Amino acid sequence: MNGIFTSPKCVRSTAVWAVAGILMLAAGCGSSSSNGSGGGGGNQGFSKASLNGNYTFTLRGISTPDTINSFFFVEGGVFTADGNGTIRSGIDDFVQNSQMFSDNISGTYVMNSDGSGDLQFNFPQGGSAIYHITMSDTSHFYMEQADGVGTSGGSGEKQTTSAFTAIPSGTFVFQAHDLVGTAKVGQIKLTSGNITGSGDVLNGGVLVTPVTISGTAQAPDTATGRGSLTITDDTGTNDYAYYVVNDSKIRLFNLDALSSLSIGQAEGQTGGPFSLASLSGTYVFGSAGETTFIQGIHSVGLFTSDGGGNVTSGSFDTVQDGTPVTNMSLSATPSGYSVDATTGRVALTLNLSTGGVNQKVMYLISPSRAYFLINDPTNVEDGTLDKQSGGPFSNASMNGQSALLMDGFDANQQLPFRDRVGTWTPNGSGSISTSYVASGYLNSVPPQTTATSNNLAGTYSVPPNGRATASINNLSNNLILYLRSANSAYLLQADPGVDIGGAFTVQTKP
């Protein structure tokens, strides 16, 4: 991380890993790194050369700035990998405990053939930080802090450097989530550095809608793709760093350290003007957020819409504060939705068989994808929705090694915050293996963290609608997956006392 720690960064880098079979990578301050979770996921032909070029990433988690206190943080940045184990340069942005830091970085990395590996960021003032990753292809990876000093979850993706030469331009759908209790979604238009738009803000359980958006954007750095923008809406003004992914996508990092722990993204909008028919077919979704606890809720589900304003069927699973409610169906009372032709804003009500409702405010990125928030008076939850393809499904639909990310909390293990990154390998006939590094954090005095390697096996079952279930020995008997396609899914661990969600993506060989 950054210079927020009361002691030099070496304090977090010298954590002892009591894990057999972990290979050490010595660099800066005597720090150490695992070289991944070991070949439990099979061999996909990844190597150091698979990580080559400019990448951007965002994370959120919790770490220990000293021996007594612990604080949540958000982190983002950019780096350049040389394809041979060296991180030549980069920038790491970090907010924790109402302080913001931005450091230049260099470093090293190792990669295993199964796509798992470790990044080590070295900082100019001393110290380093270790992140475990698993690549789904040479352009995308899941990511967690895994150096025994904190835990975090996030992702990274390769940048298109030709997009660094100009301010982003066009119509975008954006989403931003703040750990202190705010979720935002909306549509913005960027024209010659000027920002206009409208959106929705859920702030402390109150939905502010619509909000009018204005602002300005500055050109990105031509070497890193990192730029800055300011957005004003009815709830205030926020300053962001943005990281260019390509001409139609950026990642967002809120720089307002005194009031925010927010990261987000924006994607180019296509498919307008929109209508009821723009939302037609079966869609799956995953979401997470805060209750009275950070990461206190995770939800997954699917619904089928008729393109005429009605939701005809679906199912829904959620865990709130460690209490799962699973396999809910839509009630006999028809669910419905409306669509704004210009903005792609969808107001969707899902009536559940338990008698409750799930009200989503969505902005269509396209007729196949949307960002959304949940209009809820007590929780701050948001997520992503994708049109399902490839069904009907069966056990054979899940077949092949995949990159896996899970994050949340596990009170049963006395580790309130836990992240998992690794591989997940169903065999197409009901058996599955998984190989991952689990990073956990215990809010004790002094705070404690762990980072362990795991190789486990189990079984799974996939019905035609793509709501799959899995049981992994020594992990969970209650994993629920909603297939976006045969290649990816949203995932929920539905055990009492646990609140963990995630996703997997089938790996593409280099």
pLDDT at 294: 86
Looking at the domain assignment, is residue 387 inside a domain?
Answer: no
194 CB-side CA count, 13 A: 3
pLDDT at 481: 98
CA distance 69 to 174: 33
300-343 pLDDT, tens digit each: 999 999 999 999 999 999 999 999 999 999 876 788 999 999 99
Same domain for 439 and 341 = no
Which 3-state string (H, E, C) describes 242-253?
A: EEEEECCEEEEE
Same domain for 213 and 149 = no
Closest to 466 measured CA to CA, from 365, 391, 378, 383: 391
480 touches 176 (CB < 8 A): no
Same domain for 152 and 15 = yes
25 CB-side CA count, 13 A: 23
User: Which burial class, exposed, middle or buried, applies to 16 when counting CB atoms under 10 A from its CB (0-12, 13-18, 19+)?
Assistant: exposed
CA distance 362 to 358: 12
263 touches 153 (CB < 8 A): no
CA distance 41 to 401: 6
- Phi, psi (degrees; rounded to nearest 5) at 76: -160, 170
Same domain for 208 and 140 = no
CA distance 129 to 151: 11
Which 3-state string (H, E, C) describes 455-501?
A: EEEEEEECCCCCEEEEEECCCEEEEEEEEEECCEEEEEECCCCEEEE
Which CATH number goes with the domain that contains 250? 2.40.128.120
Which CATH number goes with the domain that contains 428? 2.40.128.20
Looking at the domain assignment, is residue 343 inside a domain?
Answer: yes
pLDDT at 441: 80
End-of-domain residue from the set 343, 378, 413:
378
Looking at the domain assignment, is residue 384 inside a domain?
Answer: no
Spell out a b/e string for 246-283, using b for 16 or more CB atoms within 10 Å of the CB, else e: bebbbbbbbbbbeebbbbbbbbbbbebebebebbeebb
pLDDT at 71: 86
Same domain for 166 and 154 = no
The CA–CA distances, whole Å, from 88 to 51, 80, 81, 108, 139 equal 12, 6, 6, 8, 18
The amino acid occupying position 170 is G
pLDDT at 42: 58
Looking at the domain assignment, is residue 79 inside a domain?
Answer: yes
End-of-domain residue from the set 158, 190, 221:
158
Whether the model pTM is above 0.75: yes
- Give the chain's end-to-end CA distance (angstroms, integer): 30
CA distance 204 to 186: 18
Looking at the domain assignment, is residue 390 inside a domain?
Answer: no
pLDDT at 213: 98
Same domain for 152 and 165 = no
Radius of gyration of the chain (CA): 21
Same domain for 115 and 97 = yes
If you search the block for the tokens 């890993």, which residue do you land on? 17
Same domain for 244 and 332 = no
252-297 pLDDT, tens digit each: 999 999 889 999 999 999 999 999 999 999 999 999 999 988 889 9
Looking at the domain assignment, is residue 148 inside a domain?
Answer: yes
DSSP strand pairing (236-246 vs 345-351): unpaired
End-of-domain residue from the set 105, 123, 158:
158
Which CATH number goes with the domain that contains 58? 2.40.160
Looking at the domain assignment, is residue 288 inside a domain?
Answer: no
Looking at the domain assignment, is residue 286 inside a domain?
Answer: no
Closest to 64 measured CA to CA, from 156, 147, 154: 147
CA distance 317 to 302: 9
Mean pLDDT by runs of 10 across the 510 residues of the chain is 30 29 26 34 84 98 72 95 98 94 96 97 91 97 87 96 98 96 97 98 93 98 98 96 98 94 98 98 97 92 96 96 95 87 97 93 98 96 98 97 94 79 97 95 72 95 98 97 98 96 96
Same domain for 154 and 14 = yes
pLDDT at 36: 35
The residues near 45 (Cβ < 8 Å, ≥ 6 apart) are 113, 509, 510
Same domain for 167 and 150 = no
500 touches 408 (CB < 8 A): yes
406 touches 155 (CB < 8 A): no
Same domain for 135 and 64 = yes
pLDDT at 21: 27
- Number of separate domains in the chain: 4
The CA–CA distances, whole Å, from 83 to 35, 43, 48, 343 equal 16, 19, 5, 41
Same domain for 359 and 422 = no
Residues of the domain holding 353: 276-281+301-378
Report DSSP letters for 220-249, one per residue.
PPTTT-EEEEEEEETTEEEEEEEEEEETTE
